[in-house]
Structure 1
Amino acid sequence: MKSPIDIAIANFVDHCQAIPSSLGSPGSQTTAFSTNQHTLNIPYPNGITIGQTDNQDSQMSQIRQMIAGRPSGAVTSMVDSFSSLDLTPLGFHTLFDTPWTFRQAAPVESLPIRQPQFRIETVNTPAQLQEFDRAAAAGFGQPDDDTVYSTPLLTDPRYDFYFIRQSNKIAAGVQTFTNNESIGVYTLFTLPEHRRKGFAKSLVNHVLSLTPDLPAVTNPSEDSDHLFRNAGFSHIGTRTIWLHVPS
């Protein structure tokens, strides 16, 4: 039986392969390492370690191969899933650490939004997905001129996108990735002017209520950590984000 952190990593790896693949850049995976050589301007890593420390030699070898295969001048991002590697000798520097969090499968009631005039909607069309993409970029303070969530994801049964509108514009949203083992809760955002209204809490409870028989995983930010803890998530490990910028 897989451990909670192995379940969380497996969901994250599959999700991080699916996004660039939908944009035309398929990747590859071994038991120790997942890699995607994309040069897309998307916040998804080029490499992710899989498995415990007995795979370190194999992981370091595959990271070297990944770097050697990168286009000239390409920035490379890495997720060390167990914060156990030192990639400094390979020219990487650390960006930050974030937790892996896990919630056991359990029923949860969908939480009504404080303002009854608002409701949770599902992305169903390319236009809605494009709007979600741009709203998510704004929610995370990123440029909105690069596509992250592309139309092929609408026909991928593992993905769902939910949002709340205010003043006819998306005010908050969340994206999920579901496999046979877990539901990953990702891209939870609320635009600055719509925060402190309970939108994010309602969205998280909504997606958890749809899959009561599956555990849930996520990588919360400092701002969202308390929200996920209140929803029943607990920290199960730490990952380190590394960046390699050619000189």
Structure 2
Amino acid sequence: MITDPRTTPNTATLTAVASAVRNNAAWCDAVCRSHGVPGAVEGGVWASPRRTPPLYPDAVTLSPDATPDDVLARIDVTSPGASVKDSFGTLDLSAAGFEVLFEARWIHRPAAESAPRGGGWEPVEGAGRLSAWEAAWSGDGESEGLFRPALFDDGAVFLAAKAEDRVTAGAVAFPAASVIGISNLFAADDDLDTAWSSCLDATARLWPGVPAVGYEHGDDLTAALRHGFAPVGPLRVWLRTDG
């Protein structure tokens, strides 16, 4: 088979994608376990046979060779609401009643070469402060208990900026697969550039010499690229709407 070197991912890109995918699957697994929902890896797929917490997928593909059957056989498809993170954008789940919810790009940022500035965002500690962080992240000032204190035990760090003891910006940083996964980044004033700069400074302080990964789309992706991330691969999230 003849491949076009301009479109064929190189080894470094494939490694970056694999790290981002594995890190994200580990984070999804941690969130689900914190809610008492078990998941397991089999056949190139992480999946839970029970419906997972809101905003988190029932399955995450870990290999581009995973098939629809590998995924659908391991999740609950008896009712609407099942979701699948198609980590390589290779699946077609439309015949099973799924629709594409959104498409995004995995992103990777090499470890920072310059020393972090210090100060700025700090880790949240304790259940009460975690609830306040979630209330700020939600945008409506409410905490539904999606993020639970058990996540601290799995190594999750909830970073926050504060003004007069009020959380004004933040993100989740999760170490796994030899990288730091950054997700759920937000800023009350919509200043994504300051948020990314502060977040990356904090992660460089906490995990010096470790690359950062994640996935974004739209304006959030554009902002991340301005701060040293590179897009390394596509993904899709599928949602089952057919009952």
**TM-score, normalization: structure 1?**
0.84
- SS of the equivalent of 1:224 reads helix
Distance 1:86 1:180, change over 3 A: closer
* Corresponding residue number in structure 1 for 2:70: 62
- SS of the equivalent of 1:219 reads strand
Q: Distance in 1 between matches of 2:190 and 2:110?
A: 30
User: In the alignment, is the contact (CA less than 8 A) between 2:131 and 2:143 conserved in 1?
Assistant: no
* Corresponding residue number in structure 2 for 1:206: 202
* Corresponding residue number in structure 2 for 1:235: 231
| CA-to-aligned-CA distance 1:23-70 (integer Å, 9 cap, x gap) | 111111124111123435421111111112xx24xx322222134x45
* Post-superposition offset of 1:202: 1.3
Following superposition of structure 1 onto structure 2, how do residues 33-44 of structure 1 map, counting pairs within 5 Å?
Answer: 33-44=45-56
Distance 1:108 1:38, change over 3 A: farther
Q: Can you give the 5+ residue segments of structure 2 that lack an aligned partner in the other structure? A: 1-10
User: In the alignment, is the contact (CA less than 8 A) between 1:121 and 1:164 conserved in 2?
Assistant: yes
Say whether residues 1:76 and 2:82 are aligned partners. yes
Q: RMSD in angstroms over aligned alpha carbons?
A: 2.4
* Corresponding residue number in structure 2 for 1:175: 172
Percent of aligned pairs sharing the same letter: 23
Q: Can you give the 5+ residue segments of structure 1 that lack an aligned partner in the other structure? A: 114-118
Distance 1:19 1:246, change over 3 A: same
Following superposition of structure 1 onto structure 2, how do residues 1-247 of structure 1 map, counting pairs within 5 Å?
Answer: 3-52=15-64, 55-56=65-66, 59-67=67-75, 69-70=76-77, 72-111=78-117, 119-138=120-139, 144-156=142-154, 158-191=155-188, 193=189, 195=191, 198-247=194-243
Amino acid in the other structure paired with 2:170:
G
Q: Distance in 2 between matches of 1:200 and 1:214?
A: 16
| CA-to-aligned-CA distance 1:108-144 (integer Å, 9 cap, x gap) | 433578xxxxx42221111011111111111xx6x83
User: In the alignment, is the contact (CA less than 8 A) between 2:171 and 2:184 conserved in 1?
Assistant: yes
Amino acid in the other structure paired with 1:86:
D
Count of matched residue positions in the alignment of Structure 1 and Structure 2: 231
Q: Distance in 2 between matches of 1:35 and 1:218?
A: 20
Amino acid in the other structure paired with 1:230:
R
Worse overlay, 3-12 or 209-218: 209-218
Q: Distance in 1 between matches of 2:86 and 2:195?
A: 32
Distance 1:197 1:183, change over 3 A: closer
Q: Distance in 1 between matches of 2:98 and 2:193?
A: 40
* Post-superposition offset of 1:239: 0.2
- SS of the equivalent of 1:147 reads coil
User: In the alignment, is the contact (CA less than 8 A) between 1:111 and 1:202 conserved in 2?
Assistant: no
Distance 1:11 1:196, change over 3 A: closer
User: In the alignment, is the contact (CA less than 8 A) between 2:45 and 2:70 conserved in 1?
Assistant: yes
Amino acid in the other structure paired with 1:48:
V
**TM-score, normalization: structure 2?**
0.85
- SS of the equivalent of 2:158 reads strand
User: In the alignment, is the contact (CA less than 8 A) between 2:86 and 2:237 conserved in 1?
Assistant: yes
